[in-house]
Amino acid sequence: MSSIPEGIKYTKDHEWARLEGDFVVTCGITDHAQEMLTDIVFVELPEKGDEVKQGQQIAVVESVKAVSDVYAPVGGRVVDVNMKLEDSPELLNSDPYGEGWIFKIEMSSKEELDELMDEKAYAEHLESGD
Amino acid sequence: MGVIFQKSKKGRRGVTVPGWFKDVKEEIPSAMMRTGLETVEAGEVDVVRHYTALSQMNFGVDSGMYPLGSCTMKYNPKINEKTASLEGFANLHPLAGEEMSQGALRVMHELAGYLCVISGMDAFSLAPAAGAHGELAGVMVIKKYFQERKEDRKVILIPDTAHGTNPASVAMCGFEVKEVPSTKEGDVDMEALAQMVDGSTAAMMLTSPNTLGLFDRNIHKIADLLHAKGALFYCDGANLNAVMGKARVKDMGFDLMHINLHKTFSTPHGGGGPGSGPLGVAQKLEKFLPVPVIARRGETFSLDYDRPDSIGRIHSFYGNFLVFLKAYTYIRMLGPEGVREAGENAVLNANYLLARLKEHYNLPIDRICKHEFVLSDQDMPHGVTTNDIAKRILDYGYHAPTVYFPLLVHGAIMIEPTETESLETLDAFVETMIRIRKEAESDPELVKGAPQTTPVKRVDAVGAARKPVLKWEE
């Protein structure tokens, strides 16, 4: 069973979003996502200052098995990206909710974050096998 | 066996030109002499042996069964090569002029005609040099079509089973990709599709039969839904082998398509040769085809560049001509009956394997398939994965199937036997797969450590991707 920490929000496409301060959310992919992808070998990061809409493709993760799009859990402006992933994509496997964060977004609307799943709903989503 | 650099000996030569090597260094200004770029110095026989040994390690369809799903690795009859190496064709200069190239132009014109008959499309351009190139040309045609109609349509729909090249072609032409989900039975989700198609939809690209090896049972409904909103329907013809001679793609409601000559019409691919992805269109799109188009007047053929609405040139000269010759030979050797029979046998072979293998492996979608089908590693014992099974297959002298595609099947193992394998070969493959399944139960470490008998054992795919070593160093 993959890890689903409390107190952060999840999308059906297996991204997570954690509110830091008032408007900035840190985002990454879930433990389940990294398990499914297996060893991640490359991450294509967004650029600071990019404007994204909720659900828009924002990054790409590539494993030996597959290449997958990462979608923005919330809309807004990218204020930071985890440059460490360029040289150490394995952080996404070893610490998906910590050192393996991918980008930070300054939200344009807080409501979008509220719409996402909590840990219980996400666990059910995984159970349903989707 | 090492690399050729290890066979290098200072001063050794394959060919010696009298007086040449002695003085060459003196004639190059010292400022222009570079160091650090060592080239191989070896005798001719050493070089020949090295590359012969390498070629002996190669595995091709001439060495054994190659069930690589989605790739249609059928046997390529040797007569194709014979036609392609006829002097009159092989030595023909591409700028030789129409009056000296009538035979070549006739072959191209007739081949395009055969593709029209097989697909039902009204016109073909042979220019695209690969399947993805055909897609790109097709999406350019779609774009031009709507530009001319002054309709601003931004979205192209692509199912979640699609080849990765589809969204790439769409994005390159500036369209937005929207992904259409599939049902659990492997068809396009009609409810979701109905929600997605609107006035902003330029087209939908669908591989038919799809990459699960299934014929979409709603194909006409999908076409109607798109056409009702003025959108076009594009067929990725990669899997044409399953229906050729049986059903025409245009009759399914498609407006344009590409065909992979290198898959369906038996020309070498993979490392073996260039591809060819002709683009076929319905009449309303014909004027947009890339130039040149082969025109015919009586018994005289010419290259027609005077097509003001064309998307333009997409390839130097006229496409990969020698590939056309091979495909042309294949079609002529089989004839209409033979083409149909080849398609039928491709489907029969796949269904035979499916029926036998589903007793031993998880089959996520249990339906009559077309030319290929997809197994899953879902209930393999002791954590044996698709990757392990694929590696173990190599030990038994087969090429591996396609693995981990399409993405919506867990640990997909995609098997496409093609029509050219005999019942005996298919049975031997089934027995091998059953044996691997038993090994996974009784000796999982053997399977997880495979391959054992190949020149290179299990490679470190993760290490190679994360820390690639791109230069040979001792």
pLDDT tens string B364-421: 999 999 999 999 999 999 999 999 999 999 999 999 999 998 888 989 999 999 999 9
Closest to B241 (Cα-Cα) out of B127, B344, B114: B344
User: Are B236 and B259 within 8 A, CB to CB?
Assistant: no
Residues found in chain B:
474
Q: Which residues pair with A43 in a beta bridge?
A: A61
Dump pLDDT digits (tens) for B326-344: 999 999 999 999 999 999 9
Give the best-scoring range by mean pLDDT among B36-40, B60-64, B418-422: B418-422
CA separation, residue B416 to residues A89, B259, B318, B410 (Å): 34, 18, 31, 18
**Helices of type H across B14-77:** 20-27, 44-57
Q: Which fold has domain A9-127?
A: OB fold (Dihydrolipoamide Acetyltransferase, E2P) (2.40.50)
Q: What is the pLDDT of residue B19?
A: 67
Q: Are strands B155-159 and B201-207 parallel, antiparallel or unpaired?
A: parallel
Query: What is d(CA B164, CA B387) in angstroms, rounded to the nearest whole number?
Result: 20
- Tell me the residues of chain B between 156 and 195 that have a Cβ less than 8 Å away from chain A: 164
Q: What is the pLDDT of residue B20?
A: 64
Query: What is d(CA B287, CA B145) in angstroms, rounded to the nearest whole number?
Result: 10
Closest to B313 (Cα-Cα) out of B289, B296, B280: B289
Query: What is d(CA B381, CA A13) in angstroms, rounded to the nearest whole number?
Result: 28
User: Are B236 and B163 within 8 A, CB to CB?
Assistant: yes
State yes or no: ipTM above 0.95.
Answer: no
Query: Does the beta carbon of B465 lie under 8 angstroms from any beta carbon of chain A?
Result: yes
Dump pLDDT digits (tens) for A76-102: 999 999 999 999 999 999 999 999 999
The residue of chain A nearest to residue B459, with distances taken between CA atoms, is A64
Q: Which residues pair with B207 in a beta bridge?
A: B236
> Sign of the CA dihedral B373, B379, B381, B384?
positive
Identity at B411, one-letter amino acid code = G
The residue of chain A nearest to residue B183, with distances taken between CA atoms, is A130
Question: Which residues from chain A sit within 8 angstroms of residue B164, using beta carbons?
Answer: 67
- Alpha-carbon gap: B27 to the closest alpha carbon of chain A (Å): 46
Q: Which residues pair with B444 in a beta bridge?
A: none
If DSSP codes are grouped into helix, strand and coil, which group holds residue B141? helix
Q: Hey, where are the domains in chain B?
A: 4-56, 78-334, 344-464
CA separation, residue B162 to residues A129, B243, B320 (Å): 21, 18, 26
Mean pLDDT to the nearest integer, B10-18: 82
Q: Are strands A24-29 and A103-107 parallel, antiparallel or unpaired?
A: antiparallel
Q: Hey, where are the domains in chain A?
A: 9-127
Select the CATH number that applies to the domain covering B344-464 from these four: 3.40.50.300, 3.40.640.10, 3.90.1150.10, 3.30.70.360.
Answer: 3.90.1150.10
Asked if the B78-334 domain carries CATH number 3.40.640.10, the reply is yes
The continuous run of DSSP H or E covering A77 comes out as strand A76-81
